[in-house]
Structure 1
Amino acid sequence: MKRITHHYSLTPEWMQDFADQLKVKIIDNKIIPVPKEIGKGQFYFTQIMPGISVVFIDFILSKPLKIIRQKSEEQFYIFHFDLSEHTNLIKINNKDYEIGSYDKLDLAIIDNVIESSFKPVVNEKTLAIRILVDKKLLYDFIAKHSSKAILKIKKKSGKKTFFHYGHIDSNSVLLIQSIKNKSVYDLPFDSLLKGISLKLLGNFFSKFYEIETKNNEVITEADNESIFKTKLYLLNNLYSPFPSVTFLAAMAGMSESKFKMLFKKCFDKTPQSFFITEKMKLAQKLLSSGEFHSITEIIYELNYTKLSYFSTKYFEFFKRKPTDDFVKSKARINESVC
């Protein structure tokens, strides 16, 4: 496994050592390409404004790579937004966390004085945005909302270090997806990335402060884990009917009212709305898979009984009819011909 050991800075100084370890040249003072020997893609760095910079990560590895970010005394936080369609591994304070993929937590905020490492999956597209923000710009935020983060005391210095592990809000997911297929070599890319990064920060802070305003009850780590278990249950049972809020609340060990409130806080959707959204995403994959002879087969597979109801729901989500996305199974066509 190839290992890169580096540190970040709010300015481009960190890039040269990183590029040297990959044995590549920096392009346009912004792009560090991934060498062909280990994959394809790039790291893209740009300064948004004084005190805020961004690293855009977009690549597919053909060989394992571990990126170790060493701690330094430069005072900033790293907001890691991961929208890979698989699970990567991020290590913070010597503890492993799964990040990325729709069924895992996909946002980490790390104090630069804590060492972390990033281990992307091989042969899958890794997509992440890392926003580096000077602590001076976040002092008020950290002071008021440290209870929502994980605070660690450094034994030697006695200083507090900060990291947070949670979910990307739905609006931010759409923002990141909007840049997913853009080329870093296109002229407008730099401006697009800067705008999206500022909106991502804005969405995060809006959500944080909104939760504080709506309800003073803090989501404890235990409650967060319980809510997350119900999310996983829903994602693993998309072929079944919605199990009911009563059932999910019992699974989480909460009253129905508390469960609904906390689920909405965590995922910006009610449990049933979240379930239907994910079920429709699955339906779109099944329709385009080419594994079914008819749409009726798919609706039965998803536990629907009426094609008209399914079609109406599908159109609400995608503004397309199921027939627009349906790919008929060629294998079954050939069998019927025989």
Structure 2
Amino acid sequence: MKKILHYYSLTPEWQIPFAKQLDTSVEDDKIIVFPEKFGHGHSYFTEVTAGISVYFVDISIHQAIKLCRQKSEHELYIFHFDLSEHINLIKIDNEDYQIGSYDKLDLAIIDNQIESSYKPTLNERTFALRILVDKKLLNDFIEKYKHKIESSGKIQKKDAFYHYGNIDSNSILLLKSLKTKSIRDVSFAPYIKGVSLKLLGNFFNRFYDSENKKNILTEAENDAIDKTKNFLLSNLHSPFPSVTFLATMAGMSESKYKMAFKKCNDTTPNNFFIHEKMKLAQQILQSGEYSSITEVIYELNYSKLSYFSSKYFEIIGKKPMEDFIKKPHHKK
């Protein structure tokens, strides 16, 4: 296994020794393209605003590497958002965590004075974003967080702050949007800066809202429901995955999951899924890319036109044929 030692700073100079260990170089103080002997992909670093920088990684490796971040004199907190569709391993203050899979936790906040390491899974797309924030900008948050930990009876090591939790559903959509962007595009720099500020805003809004609002569900339970809701929205072309599957994903019993989902969304998981699926069906019917409604129902994983038509009319208020735009037939 190749071990890469590195550190972080708010300015780009830390990338130079990092790139040398990968036998490559840094382009324009921003981009590191991973050499073919390790895999393929890239990383991107830029300063966002005073006291905030962002480091974005989108790679698939075929040689095992371990990225070992060392302590440095830079007073930072690292917000690690991991949207990989598999499990990566992260070690924080000598404790192992799994991060990145849909049924695992996918957000870590780490004090730069605590060493950590990160092992991407081989032959899978690792997709993560790290926002580096000057500690001086976060004094109020850290004090409130430590107070919450002490009030809960949990042990927090002195001067060893770290947090491990879930990305909210809005932030997941922001992160997913980066998958469609090219780092070579001139608009990428302002786009990722905007995404980074929104991600921080979403996190702190949730944190301070939980300080001020009482809810039957805990913050973690709300996050778990959001995660299953996002999973449903990402899989509308597939059959409904079952309440058992979703409850397991949320870490709840089926009865608690159904209650919690309805509390958050005013409907059942299955009704939510069908409603969103019919909205997608309307877009597909009107796209002009299909030759028959049969093709459309197969696209949405239905086998019976009668069932699809009844659900479509129930939710959209029209028959599918009323919305269907047939694909033009081009003569050769």
Give TM-score, length-normalised by structure 2. 0.72
Query: Residue 251 in 1 paired to residue 247 in 2?
Result: no
Give the equivalent residue in structure 1 for 2:156: 152
Judging changes above 3 Å, is the alpha-carbon distance between structure 1 residues 217 and 102 closer, same or farther for their aligned structure 2 residues?
same
Change (3 A) 1:239 1:185: closer
2:235 is matched with: none
Amino acid at match of 1:272: T
Compute the displacement of 1:107 (Å): 0.9
Relative to structure 1, the CA distance from residue 215 to residue 130 in structure 2 (aligned partners, 3 Å threshold; closer, same or farther) is same
User: What stretches of structure 1 of length at least 5 have no aligned partner?
Assistant: 154-158, 325-338
1:88 correspondence with 2:88: yes
CA distance 1:47–1:313, shift in 2 (3 Å): farther
Q: Is the 8 A contact 1:249 1:256 kept in 2?
A: no
* Residue of structure 1 equivalent to 2:200: 201
Structure 1 equivalent of residue 50 of structure 2: 50
For 2:172, what is the secondary structure of its paired residue? helix
- 2:268 corresponds in structure 1 to 272
| Same amino acid, percent of matched pairs | 45
Alignment of structure 1 residues 302-317 onto 2, 5 Å: 306-308=307-309, 311=312
Contact 1:106 1:166 in 2 (8 A): yes
Supply the AA of the counterpart residue of 1:183: S
Quote the offset at 1:102 in angstroms. Answer: 2.2
- Deviation, structure 1 residue 312: 6.8
- Equivalent residue, structure 1, for 2:289: none
Q: Number of residue pairs matched?
A: 293
Q: Which runs of 5+ in 2 are unaligned?
A: 233-238, 285-293, 326-332
Partner of 1:152, secondary structure, is coil
* CA–CA separation in structure 2 for the residues paired with 1:278 and 1:100: 27
| Aligned residue in 2 for 1:114 | 114
Residues 207, 22 of structure 1: alpha-carbon distance in 2 compared, 3 angstrom cutoff = same
Shift of 1:255: 11
Distance 1:96 1:299, change over 3 A: farther
SS at match of 1:25: coil
CA contact (8 A) 1:242 1:272 kept: no
Q: Which residue of 2 aligns with 1:66?
A: 66
Question: How has the CA–CA distance of structure 1 residues 246 and 11 changed in structure 2, closer, same or farther, with 3 Å as cutoff?
Answer: closer
Partners of 1:92 and 1:117 within 8 A in 2: yes
Q: Is the CA contact (8 Å cut-off) linking 2:261 and 2:269 kept in structure 1?
A: no
Q: Whole-Å Cα distance in 2 between the matches of residues 21 and 91 of structure 1?
A: 21
In the alignment, what sits opposite 1:330?
none
Structure 2 residue matching 1:161: 3-state secondary structure: coil
Decide whether the 8 Å contact of 1:43 with 1:58 is kept in 2.
yes
Shift of 1:13: 2.2
Q: Whole-Å Cα distance in 1 between the matches of residues 242 and 15 of structure 2?
A: 51
Write the mapping of 1:217-232 to structure 2, written as runs, cut at 5 A: 219=218
When residues 213 and 60 of structure 1 are mapped into structure 2, their CA distance, relative to the original with a 3 A threshold, is same
Runs of 4+ in 1 over 6 A off after TM superposition: 245-250, 252-257, 278-281, 312-316
- In structure 1, the residue matched to 2:142 is 142
Q: Is the 8 A contact 1:69 1:117 kept in 2?
A: yes
Measure, in 1, the Cα distance between the counterparts of 2:313 and 2:140: 47
Give the TM-score normalised by the residue count of structure 1.
Answer: 0.70
RMSD: 4.4
Q: Deviation at 1:314?
A: 9.8
Show the counterpart of 1:125.
Answer: 125
SS of equivalent residue, structure 1 residue 101: coil
